[in-house]
Structure 1
Amino acid sequence: MHEPRSIVAGYDGSEEAAAAIRWAAQQARLRSLRLHVVHVSIWPLLTRKLGPVPGVADSGLERSAEAILEEGVNCARTCAPEVDVEGTLLHGLPAPHLARISSGEEMLVVGSRGLGGFLGLLVGAVSLELAATADCPVAVIRSDVHPGGPVVVAIDVSGSRNALADACAMAATLQANLRVIHVRHTPPGYRQPDRQESVAARIAAEEVISAAVRRARSLAPGVPVDGRVLTDTSVPHAILKASVEARMLVVGSKGHGFFRETIGSTAHAVLHHARGPVLISRHGNSSLDSEEQFDDTRL
């Protein structure tokens, strides 16, 4: 018998990470799951002097790391007292540890960026790396949320089955509407498609949306679902514009085989420019997301 999956949340002491912890705690409460708060200290990579300062109680880099973890755990317990919260302190590079510990879990939650200065850049890079390497969905949380907005999911020509399923689960959990979007990419240039070609492309796009909406309604019967076909010379631009007031934006992540540890240009742009939380739909090698089999321009 398998143990129930948990939600894993990375915490580094920053305001963005605190927002991620609070969001993760609420998700754990709504889904009746455990929450695992993880802090990864990079100090052992930089110095061996981790112990307390002689004569100064409760000091030292190791104690500082322990305090950060305790702060994250306490933040989660305060936000959702009924949730079973555990904490783990690890040492080394954050991304590999977080990817390993969250493998096969319900979700990995991180802040959009971390502590200021050099460490802030490092943590931001960690979020981006996890979006390309984790084996479970990765939620990148920003504090600018729209609590009354819909969950928006971008699908490609395949229907993006895993991303759609993740979006259905998120909409049901949040009791939010679900909006399914598909972007017809029209490369800029002098040649415009003739009318017959344009109509055929439009019909094909509408069929993609119709099939996705039908599947979403079967996966989440109580969730109001609508679908939209968008046309733009930039896929990320269309997605970002359509999700300005989204409560959560769900997209897939490209990359498999030798190139699995990459992130597509669409997901990359969305992570950098979306105003609200983004869920990158990632799953293990045995269940590659359908977006990973198509180029971004076909979204």
Structure 2
Amino acid sequence: MPHRTGTGTPRPIVAGVDGSATAVAAARWAADEARRGALPLRLVHAVSQPAMAHSAAALPAEFSAALETDGRRWLGEARAAVVDGRPDLAVELDLAAGAPVASLVEVSRSARLVVVGSAGLGGFPGILAGSTAVALATRGQCPVAVVRGDPGSPDGPVVVGVDDSVSSDLAIATAFEEAAARGADIVVVHAWLWFTSDSAYAHARRHLPALEELELSERASLAERLDRARENHPGVAVRTVLARDRAVRCLLEYSADAQLLVVGGQGRGGLSGMVLGPTSQALLYHATCPLLVVRPAVADSS
């Protein structure tokens, strides 16, 4: 993620490490983001005691020591992977104590971006199982990226999902930053579904002129928002997609060959329920390229 000029020490890119192959892939992706933005990289592993450690029977000290030993080894392996080909990259190792999500949320307070793999073990078990990833994306104090084993197409566009929310404006701005830094094009996807059944659409056909006028209004509003973003990045080529379709299906289609998918963390309209609802769940599980979630309260914290 490109660094926005400011004062003080630059906020690092943070990557969660747990010894899994997906975490290493995410760390490599985070390293490229850090180098692209001239930012330091911080690798974090959380040493979390099993639930039984809080029972009456305390675990032996050797067990805790073994967990820390594994954590240090996984951090070292991740560091070796990310500095390979990036010898000038500044890398910090952090062995944190606590639950994975809580640890990442805490470090996100001073981070530019937190990056996690799509599935894990050890310090970040089941990062996409149940509510774990949703909790991180919701509670994190900076943008959150989820990276699957496939780092995305290096020659593909940056795809951004847009609705009429404030978080979408931030997603647009972030997407333009990313595209400019990567030398990539942008595909802006605005999908909405006015009717959830064919019968409802057929019933509304009598009002077709009004619907067409509404679509023209949507196009004009989106063009105005994109014009504002173009002012800061005039060299970025933009393709706009407006579709009467479900947001998830449309975003998955257009991001299949992308290098990054950007969405706002609190959506309305076509991206209703983003992060907390089924749209975000589907994108977290099924997006084949890295997914970047930005939220209004924290996106400008750099």
Q: 1:166 to 1:201 in 2, by over 3 A?
A: same
Q: 1:179 to 1:64 in 2, by over 3 A?
A: same
User: TM (normalized to structure 2)?
Assistant: 0.83
Q: 1:201 to 1:146 in 2, by over 3 A?
A: same
Q: Which moved more, 1:276-285 or 1:27-36?
A: 276-285
- The one-letter code of the counterpart of 1:51 is E
Aligned match of 1:136: 142
By how many angstroms is 1:45 displaced? 4.9
The answer to whether 1:121 aligns with 2:126 is: yes
By how many angstroms is 1:166 displaced? 1.2
By how many angstroms is 1:121 displaced? 2.8
Out of 255, 258, 264, the residue aligned to residue 243 of structure 1 is 255
Q: 1:264 to 1:218 in 2, by over 3 A?
A: farther
Structure 2: distance between partners of 1:221 and 1:113: 37
Identity over aligned pairs, percent:
34
Structure 1: distance between partners of 2:184 and 2:266: 27
Deviations 1:198-257 (A, max 9, x none): 21121022113212321231132222122121111x2211221222211111111128xx
Structure 1: distance between partners of 2:211 and 2:22: 44
By how many angstroms is 1:287 displaced? 5.9
By how many angstroms is 1:280 displaced? 0.7
The count of aligned residue pairs is: 277
The answer to whether 1:6 aligns with 2:6 is: no
Q: State whether residues 43 and 50 of structure 1, in contact with CA within 8 Å, keep that contact through their aligned partners in structure 2.
A: no
- The one-letter code of the counterpart of 1:146 is S
The answer to whether 1:146 aligns with 2:153 is: yes
Q: State whether residues 109 and 142 of structure 2, in contact with CA within 8 Å, keep that contact through their aligned partners in structure 1.
A: yes
Q: State whether residues 15 and 42 of structure 2, in contact with CA within 8 Å, keep that contact through their aligned partners in structure 1.
A: yes
Unaligned runs of 5+ in 1: 54-58, 289-299
Structure 1: distance between partners of 2:85 and 2:195: 47
Q: 1:123 to 1:251 in 2, by over 3 A?
A: closer
Q: 1:128 to 1:200 in 2, by over 3 A?
A: same
Deviations 1:100-146 (A, max 9, x none): 11125221111011139x97435645333211211111110113221
* Structure 1 consecutive aligned stretches of length 4 or more whose deviation exceeds 6 Å: none
Aligned match of 1:176: 184
Aligned match of 1:102: 108
- The one-letter code of the counterpart of 1:152 is V
Q: 1:7 to 1:178 in 2, by over 3 A?
A: same
User: TM (normalized to structure 1)?
Assistant: 0.83
Q: State whether residues 252 and 267 of structure 1, in contact with CA within 8 Å, keep that contact through their aligned partners in structure 2.
A: no
Deviations 1:152-183 (A, max 9, x none): 00111246211111111111222111111111
By how many angstroms is 1:149 displaced? 0.9
Q: State whether residues 77 and 83 of structure 1, in contact with CA within 8 Å, keep that contact through their aligned partners in structure 2.
A: yes
Matched residue of 1:172: which SS? helix
Q: 1:261 to 1:167 in 2, by over 3 A?
A: closer
Q: State whether residues 150 and 179 of structure 1, in contact with CA within 8 Å, keep that contact through their aligned partners in structure 2.
A: yes
- The one-letter code of the counterpart of 2:290 is P
The answer to whether 1:166 aligns with 2:174 is: yes
